[in-house]
Copies of this chain bind each other. A is one copy, B any other.
Amino acid sequence: MKHRPTELDAATSPAKRAAGGAGDEWRTALTCIEPNKILVRGYPLDEIMGRLTFGEAIYLLLVGEVPSPGMGRLMEALLVSFIDHGATPPSTLAARNTATTGAPLRACVAAGVLGFGRYHGGDIESCMQFLDSGLALVREGVGLRDAAERIVQKYLNSHEVPPGFGHRFHTRDPRAARLFQMALELEVEADHIQMIRAVDLFLHSHPDEHGRTPPVNIDGAIAAVCGDLGIPPTIADALFIISRVPGIAAHADEERQRQQPMRQIDPKDHRYDGPSARRLPERRK
């Protein structure tokens, strides 16, 4: 009878412990460490340094191969897109509340990371499944437009918004638009992105009773791009976390630099006092 794994599984009898041996070996294919040598997926780390960017190295480590230049550029943009979203996301507030107690930065980052869940950077899996359900219909011979209509229907019927779409604050999420534009330019766009465009088109032709249409949001854009990059949902999850950690760290650090310890943090009362809108230097365009 197959038993359910429980805490009792991880316990071993003294007899079993004494035996040990090669039967207990386990493997990792990520990084090889030997004296004076570090290989990441086979590539020497000191060779990667200076030749791959951090974004490309992230792809290599998580996926196993060096990305093509086009895929690498899209990865950078994807990682940049979610890097921060101000002081009000609950995960950022969890980090600031931890920082105000004097906790070290790593504790603030850990607290912030724990706030990525079902509603917050965790929609990737359901969005990827949503798009895949449409692509399954397409493979059966249904046209793209009809497939989009079919998978959206159940959400429209229950007056819900499909995963990857949302509109409380941004009516046009600038990050999603930019990501799709780059996917097109870099010729990475494939069936997942085409499916989400088709859903977007369909929703635009069926606005709700207030005349509003939910736009594609960054979760949806990332899900579609990851689908076309062949990045599985669990890795896409990792990319969300990796992307937002700098933002969480920056807020925790700013909290400690600018504020009194043990203050009561009311998100409603904050204002932005950073630089006004400015453009990147010419050489960067």
Contacts and interface: CB of A to CB of B under 8 A. Distances in A.
A208 to B, nearest CB: 4
Identical copies of this chain, number: 4
Contact of A13 (B12, B77, B90, B169): B169
A281 interface: yes
Contacts of A144: none
Contact of A238 (B27, B167, B212, B253): B253
A277 B17 CA distance: 22
Interface size class of A (residues with CB under 8 A): 35 or more
A37 B245 contact: no
Nearest to A170: B36
B62 A250 contact: yes
Interface in A117-163: 117-123, 156, 158-161, 163
Given A53-B54, A120-B102, A254 B30 contact: yes
Contact of A76 (B6, B9, B54, B84): B54
B97 A169 contact: no
Interface in A215-251: 217, 219, 234-235, 237-238, 241-243, 245-247, 249-251
Interface in A173-216: 173-175, 177-179, 182, 208-209, 212, 214
Interface string A1-19: 1111111111111100100
B114 A111 contact: yes
Contact of A84 (B31, B120, B121): B31
Of residues A39, A53, A178, which shows the largest number of chain B Cβ atoms within 10 Å of its Cβ?
A53
A198 to B, nearest CB: 19
Given A33-B272, A52-B284, 10 more contacts: A4-B163, A10-B100, A26-B258, A26-B269, A29-B273, A40-B83, A45-B174, A51-B284, A55-B55, A57-B80
